[in-house]
A and B are shown apart, each in its own frame.
Chain A
Amino acid sequence: MSSFDISVILDALPFLAKGLGLSLGLTAVAMIGGLVLGLVIAIVRLSRFRVLAMLAALYVNGFRAVPLILVIFWFYFLVPLLLGRPVGALYSVLIAFVMFEGAYYSEILRAGLKSVRPGQWQAAQASGLTYLQTVRLVVLPQALRKMAPLMVTQGVVLFQDTSLVYVVSLHDFMTSASIIANTQNRIVELYVFAALVYFALCTAGSALAQRLSSDRQRAH
């Protein structure tokens, strides 16, 4: 093959940047949505309502047993069917990611909520707080600090997972690189460049997680 041609990457930068924007946006929505949903699931699972807790466990174990690609296919197929009209791939994918991440974040949050010492729960209940007040005012602030590094690590995994929207041809960073690679017939340049960008961003994320966790250790 001919030598490494960097100009094809420079020419495609605006297109690739748009793709990266979608990847990061998808990560942000899935992370925020997944955290909110995950929190609800974690609270339900730790609550006294046995039937609800069981349903929440079923939800989490169900989503954790299947591949994300299958979940994406499921929602790509289901969402238009349920709404009765065609919607773009983006909405199906957003819903799929939030539901999927909710299951994973709920496990992190559940472990965090459980790691807060029982005395904290008992003291909060004894001072007359309700279950939800105990979670919100006493347990959650402590749990979130403990869980911050894990959440960032999960965020890095999630960012990598957004590349899977390739299977429904949504133009994220991975898919954009693939489009240029094939239309310009510059496969080596584009995939190596994409790998470098993913590597740099994920390494930065991992370093942040590392720092958060060593900050915590020093504070104790």
Chain B
Amino acid sequence: MNYAWNWGVLFQSPYLEWLGQGIAMTLAVSIAAWTIALGLGTLIGIFHSGASGAMRFVTGSYINLFRNVPLLLQMFLWFFVVPELLPKAAGTWLKRGLPYPEIVTAIVALGLFTASRVAVQVAAGIAAVPRGQSMAARASGLSTAQAYRLVLLPQAFRIVVPPLTSEFLTIFKNSSIALTIGVYELTAQTQQIQSFTYQGFEAFTAATVVYMAIALAVTTLMTVIERRVSIPGPAARG
């Protein structure tokens, strides 16, 4: 193997700045998308676990639709197709008026996609709460909304912390797909460093190390959360 090592390239201008901007963009896109995913996914999950047949069908369709089309294609649909299908003024605004359209689109696409995965976990978490809890809540005179808010969801959320950790980790990795619509996140920046300097080894190693650090940080954070919210005592161990 014939390769001229130069780790110093990572610390030179402008490559160091590119790396920094890439990390910031990956974090910003992922965290913004995660707030959408968590909020919308929880709502969809709740309705999917409910008794209404029509609601189950609507939420089930959302989940199936977003899970069965590749995320890359979903980004393209939001970025290229949706502006064409909207009324002319709205489409033009999306393409020209909206600031940073590629970043906003990436956040929305990633958020809506991940919401479908969060919804599945939340619905499964609610289903995992023993049935007696829901019956006892109704019997003691709570309304459906109260039963969810006060009895079912607090327990369901504790159950879904581990699977949600895995979805949270995945969103950082999936944010790399935003590079296909022109978002300069971490993977795109390191790819750019490699094409400018031919120091691919150094550039991709830097990206790998950063993604691993993010994974470690997220896992640690979620473990702390899991421990902080766990219900003490043997009865809580399900």
Contact = CB atoms under 8 A, between A and B. Distances in A.
B77 A191 contact: yes
A191 B76 contact: yes
B69 A202 contact: yes
B73 A163 contact: yes
A70 B207 contact: yes
Contacts of A199: 65, 68-69
Given A62-B212, A195-B77, A198-B73, A70 B84 contact: no
Contacts of B173: 65-68
Nearest to B172: A67
Contacts of A156: 68
B81 A70 contact: no
Contacts of A65: 169, 173, 208, 211-212, 214-215
Interface in B167-198: 169, 173-177, 179-180, 187, 190-191, 194
B233 interface: no
Interface in A41-86: 62, 64-70, 73-74, 77-78, 81-82, 84
A161 interface: yes
A194 B176 contact: no
B1 interface: yes
A195 B174 contact: no
B72 A187 contact: no
Nearest to B71: A160
A15 interface: no
A219 interface: no
Given A178-B76, A202-B69, A203-B64, A69 B187 contact: yes
Nearest to A199: B68
Given A161-B70, A163-B73, A178-B76, A70 B211 contact: yes
Which of A70, A194, A199 is packed against the most chain B CB atoms within 10 Å?
A70
B204 A70 contact: yes
Interface in B190-224: 190-191, 194, 200-201, 204, 207-208, 211-212, 214-215
Nearest to A198: B69
B135 to A, nearest CB: 25
Contacts of A178: 76
A167 B184 CA distance: 14
B85 interface: yes
B80 interface: yes
A187 B187 CA distance: 26
Nearest to A194: B73
Interface residues of A, number: 37
A16 interface: no
Contacts of B3: 81
Contact of B177 (A164, A187, A194): A164
A5 to B, nearest CB: 13
B2 interface: yes
Given A166-B180, A202-B69, A1 B208 contact: no
A206 interface: yes
A98 B97 CA distance: 43
A74 B64 CA distance: 32
A212 to B, nearest CB: 17
B68 A188 contact: no
Contacts of A192: 77, 81
Contacts of B76: 178, 191
Interface in A178-210: 178, 181, 187-188, 191-192, 194-195, 198-199, 202-203, 206
Which of B71, B77, B187 is packed against the most chain A CB atoms within 10 Å?
B187
Contacts of B69: 160, 195, 198-199, 202
Contact of B81 (A82, A84, A188): A188
Interface in B13-69: 64-65, 67-69
B6 to A, nearest CB: 15
Contacts of A84: 1-2
Given A65-B208, A191-B77, 8 more contacts: A66-B208, A78-B201, A81-B2, A156-B68, A160-B70, A163-B70, A174-B70, A203-B64
Interface of B: 1-3, 64-65, 67-73, 76-77, 80-81, 84-85, 169, 173-177, 179-180, 187, 190-191, 194, 200-201, 204, 207-208, 211-212, 214-215
